[in-house]
Chains A and B, each alone.
Chain A
Amino acid sequence: MKGKVLGIFSVLAALCLCLTLATANPWWNPAQSQFLDLDNIMNLLSRTALYGILGIGVAFVIITSGIDLSIGSMVCLCGVLLTILLKVDYQPQQPLSVTRMTAADRTILVAGSTESLKPGDTVRFTGGVGSGLVLTVESATADRLVVRETLTRDERDGRIVRILPLESFDATSLTATLPATTAEANDQLQLFRRDGSVTGQKITAVAERGTQLQLTLARDPGQKYHSDSFAVVLRRSQRCSIPLAVLIVLITAAGLGLVHGLLITRLRLQPFVVTLCGLLIYRGASRWLTNDNPAGFGELQSILGPVASGRVGLLLKGDKVLFGIPIPFFLMTGLALIAAVVLTRTVWGRYLLALGRNEEAARFSGINTGRVTVMAYVICAVMAAVGGMLFALEYSSISPSSFGNSFELYAIAAAVLGGCSLRGGEGSIPGVVIGTAVMQVLNNMIMLLRIPQSLEYTIIGAVILLGVLGDELVRRAAARRRLKQSIT
């Protein structure tokens, strides 16, 4: 195994050296190499980290002599799930939905009760053609509201929200003063004028002044809203807190991995078939959950994004990071270390290697091979979930029909390059990480050497084939040597 890791490591080193020389101009001046460009290296590290996490996961499954084809779809599902769980919404308090608005008698019928409104209050109607109307309540009884303003047309459908007159706005401190209402920092203040124009600003601080409320805004909404305008506080709501969302995604993935494992060990279905179905099912589910629309993290991207795209600066120029280790790289290194320890130093790892080489002998030795195998699928799915969340943050907007496509093949290829045998029982975590790096450097080579992008798969395929071929030849030579030794 050590030989294999050294082998793939020398391939990586040779590739890097060649690329350095090939992209330097003149070739003997590596300082000018495009490959060694700091941004390029950071990018490579980041991609290696993300794909590496997937590779480490699938390595466990490959060691059981199984396969997980669902990784790409799992990545997508977990990314999509995270965006859904972290969806942020801004809603006014107590909106009333309108069932009918009649112009002739200036009446609005609402579903529910109008008791929160009293004569003299202002409301804003949205929906239909008359969207954005600012109206004053003349009387409110049960579900019936009469307004003072003349209505130009009937509406069947829409929504009214109580709005408050903006009492004053201090442009220097960016403070808006409103009659009493509820608001918190991070909520949004929406401002309107009677002419229908509207704007919104984030609230950064809230202070009560007697019966009034002073709201500090993040930015000046514009001079025209400073007076004679109305305001409504849109309360911010987020489906889940960030840790809870991450936990739910990880648990979902673990559950799906468990299902894969149980189908494979208990019902003796083939790993290929089970995870192929997973590939299709999770892809479809992701598209359905998002209505096939691109998904993103909205305002949370700026908070969460750095987890995937942040760099820990090593080389700074003022505030700018010239070179830093991408945060996912630390994450991947940590996970790789844990995985390596689990594989080589725990009983579970030993059992995994044993059953991968010879399931029957392991079972006959009293190893609960089913449980060990199931665990491998759970780990693979959880690693796909971790990778999926990071990829989603890195991409910021993910398209559920293509996000994560064929990632499983990258992961499997990296694991195989790194010394895992699809026959099972063999694999090393450092090997998988180096294998991933080789794939990313190849990818980088295609870009840097302006090799047509269309040849990408061909080149990667050929390199993997050569790698596996070389490994097989070395293995045979070793077997021959062993044979000779055993005779003498």
Chain B
Amino acid sequence: MNSAVTPRLEVRDIEKSFPGVRALRKVSLQVFPGEVLSVVGENGAGKSTLMKILAGVHSPDAGLLLVDGQQQQFARVADAMQHGIALIHQELNLADNLNIGANLFLGREPRKFGLIDDQTIRRQAESLLQRIGLKFSPDTLVRDLTVGQQQMVEIAKALSINARVLIMDEPTSSLSAAESARLFEVIRDLRQQGVSIVYISHRLAEVQDLSDRAVVLRDGSTAGSLQRGQITHDNLVRLMVGRDVSRIFSRSPCPPGQTVLEVHKLRTATWPAHEVSFSIKAGEVVGIAGLVGAGRTELLRTLFGIDTPLSGSITAAGRQLQLRSPQDAIAAGIALVPEDRKQQGVVLDMAIRQNIGLASAHRHSHAGFLSFATEQAQSAEMCGRLRVKSPDDQVRVGNLSGGNQQKVVLGKWLALRPSLLLLDEPTRGIDVGAKQEIYQLMDELAQQGLAVLFVSSELEEILGLSDRVLVMHEGRITGQLQRDALSEQAIMHLATGHFAEQVVQ
């Protein structure tokens, strides 16, 4: 990019911290007119935080923010919008009980005699929808649109405030391939119209396809910047991970033991038409790959007794299990490290010790009274074994980093000595160092004879850790891959709904 051009939006040496995490350290970024700038990085690298600062959701602890070369301070989202900067969140922010027109002008409705001027809304909405090629009447209720169409409405909403910088946070994470293609067309059109796009994604193929420039973040710092010609998968991964990928993962395969769990023709409410069958042995690490919405989380939830299966059987050690609640699953030796760590994994406001004891308190109780001594011993053991980094175990779990929180969740379960460990996106929102520790732990646990079944959206993780991979698509297992048959292409092929020509057993 020509350095004589003034960046439309620029940040210099931005710093931002949250309790327990230093999200950004001295990050600088420039956005030029009419370019697509991709910001990539692993989960927890600071992408979302940076975008929220650009859009006025958070204010930085330190650093400068410039719009058209002028220093600005955004105290709130409205300030950023005033300067033509709009953020489209990962989670859509539409009122789905209202129609498209009402959503586009929510909070700044044109008025006539003090009443909402529906005619003007409709006229303007129609031209906005036309601009992004969405063929719907402004009177359509948002809830009647698909996720992809709702995303378009969000974009139209951004355009309606004359956005000159459009920030998109993982816009394709819940879109179908066709919807994604449509989105890319719109992005290219907008670039043509002079709109700058800041595109966040960890789908590297998309980044390679779309971007004029890419900035890579790692652990809250800028790891590097790539120009159009340099944006390749390998370059991106090297910058994102910062070291040789194979060194992060350590899987020392061990001979599998007895079958720990056998799932036969299981159907869940999300995909009632499709069945899942598989089994897992002690000492095995099995990865479940697939796109968002393939039914992976639902499968784990069903195995943990949170969701009830529609039909099918789950057998452990020759005994058929009736999993009506997590208590049943725990009694059968199953533990789940859930996807949403802060909401489902830990109680943020409780201390480490109490969290570790949460699932096992009743086992060590005397006549209903807590055994504080056992609790303390257990917590000390787990903190040591899992290397939880904290001055002591009375620290509130909310003050820990994501990685240490995840270790607390693991500690809670290991205290119960389960035979099957389910992990749902075990490294989401965790920095690289802690990720490596979690991977090591998973490996160690498998060597100690645990069966480990994990869901991950990060292909590197699936490739690096699994002895065997189950690939899911729309609620069914489209294929199983053994470690020696694993490749990114093979997984993506199955994940997009192509069945394996021959299922490798």
Chain A residues at the B interface, C-beta cutoff of 8 Å: 345-351, 353-354, 357-358, 360-368, 425-426, 479, 482-483, 486-487
Contacts and interface: CB of A to CB of B under 8 A. Distances in A.
B368 A365 contact: no
Nearest to B331: A366
A487 B22 contact: yes
Given A361-B343, A361-B344, A348 B358 contact: no
Interface stretch (B239-247, B289-297, B348-356): B348-356
B19 A482 contact: yes
Contacts of A362: 347, 358
Looking at A362, A365, A367, the one whose CB has the most chain B CB atoms below 10 A away is A365
Interface in B143-178: none
Interface string B319-338: 00000011101100000101
Interface string B1-25: 0000000000000000111101000
A483 B348 CA distance: 15
A361 to B, nearest CB: 5
Nearest to B61: A487
Contact of A350 (B304, B344, B370): B370
Q: Top 7 closest A-B pairs, CB basis?
A: A366-B330, A365-B359, A366-B326, A365-B358, A364-B344, A358-B347, A347-B365
Contact of B399 (A346, A348, A367, A486): A486
Contacts of A361: 343-347, 358
Looking at B304, B336, B348, B370, the one whose CB has the most chain A CB atoms below 10 A away is B370
B66 interface: no
Contacts of B330: 366
B203 interface: no
A357 B20 contact: no
A487 B18 CA distance: 8
Interface in B343-384: 343-350, 354, 357-359, 361-362, 365, 368-370
A425 B349 contact: yes
A293 B327 CA distance: 51
Contacts of A483: 17-19
A150 B399 CA distance: 98
Nearest to B396: A482
B347 A363 contact: no
B306 interface: yes
Contacts of B348: 357-358
Contacts of B347: 354, 357-358, 361-362, 425
A194 B481 CA distance: 110
A487 B19 CA distance: 8
A365 to B, nearest CB: 4
A431 B348 CA distance: 23
A410 to B, nearest CB: 28
Contact of A357 (B304, B349, B399): B349
Nearest to B365: A347
A358 B354 contact: no
Given A348-B368, A350-B361, A486-B17, A365 B350 contact: no
Given A364-B338, A365-B359, A487 B350 contact: no
B412 A365 contact: yes
A366 B329 CA distance: 8
B344 A486 contact: no
Contact of A347 (B304, B327, B329, B369): B369
A66 B346 CA distance: 21
Interface in B3-58: 17-20, 22
A364 B20 contact: no
Nearest to B340: A360
Given A345-B370, A483-B19, A487-B22, 16 more contacts: A346-B365, A346-B368, A350-B358, A353-B350, A357-B349, A358-B346, A361-B345, A361-B358, A362-B347, A364-B304, A364-B326, A364-B344, A365-B359, A365-B412, A366-B330, A367-B359
Contacts of B18: 483
A67 B370 CA distance: 27
A487 B370 contact: no
A357 B350 CA distance: 8
Contact of A364 (B345, B354, B357, B368): B345
Nearest to B301: A364
B17 A367 contact: no
Given A345-B370, A351-B361, A357-B348, A366 B19 contact: no
Contacts of A354: 347, 350, 354, 358
Contacts of A347: 361-362, 365, 368-370
Looking at A366, A483, A486, the one whose CB has the most chain B CB atoms below 10 A away is A366
Contacts of A364: 304, 306, 326, 336, 338, 344-345
B368 A486 contact: no
Nearest to A349: B370
B354 to A, nearest CB: 7
A173 B268 CA distance: 88
24 contacts: A346-B369, A347-B361, A349-B370, A358-B348, A360-B344, A361-B344, A361-B345, A362-B347, A363-B306, A364-B304, A364-B326, A364-B338, A364-B344, A364-B345, A365-B326, A367-B359, A368-B325, A426-B349, A482-B399, A483-B17, A483-B18, A486-B17, A486-B20, A487-B17
Contacts of B358: 350, 354, 361-362, 365, 367
Interface string B292-319: 0000000000001010000000000000
B327 A366 contact: yes
Contacts of B369: 345-347
Contacts of A426: 349
Contact of B343 (A348, A351, A360): A360
Contacts of B17: 483, 486-487
A350 B326 contact: no
Contacts of A351: 361
B306 A358 contact: no
Contacts of A358: 343, 346-349
A364 B365 CA distance: 20
A365 B363 CA distance: 13
Nearest to B412: A365
A361 B19 CA distance: 20
A419 to B, nearest CB: 14
B276 to A, nearest CB: 21
A378 to B, nearest CB: 16
B419 to A, nearest CB: 15
B224 to A, nearest CB: 26
A487 B220 CA distance: 14
A348 B359 CA distance: 12
Contacts of A367: 358-359
A441 B359 CA distance: 43
Nearest to B346: A361
Contacts of A353: 350
A348 B350 CA distance: 15
Contacts of A482: 19, 399
A363 B347 CA distance: 11
Contacts of B304: 364
A358 B362 CA distance: 18
Contacts of A363: 306, 326
A486 B345 contact: no
Looking at B306, B350, B412, the one whose CB has the most chain A CB atoms below 10 A away is B350
Nearest to B413: A365
B214 to A, nearest CB: 29
Contacts of A357: 347-350
A479 B398 CA distance: 11
A362 B359 CA distance: 8
Looking at A348, A354, A361, the one whose CB has the most chain B CB atoms below 10 A away is A361
A368 B305 CA distance: 12
Contacts of B370: 345-347, 349-350
Nearest to A479: B19
Contacts of B357: 350
Nearest to A487: B17
B491 to A, nearest CB: 28
A214 to B, nearest CB: 57
Looking at A357, A358, A426, A482, the one whose CB has the most chain B CB atoms below 10 A away is A358
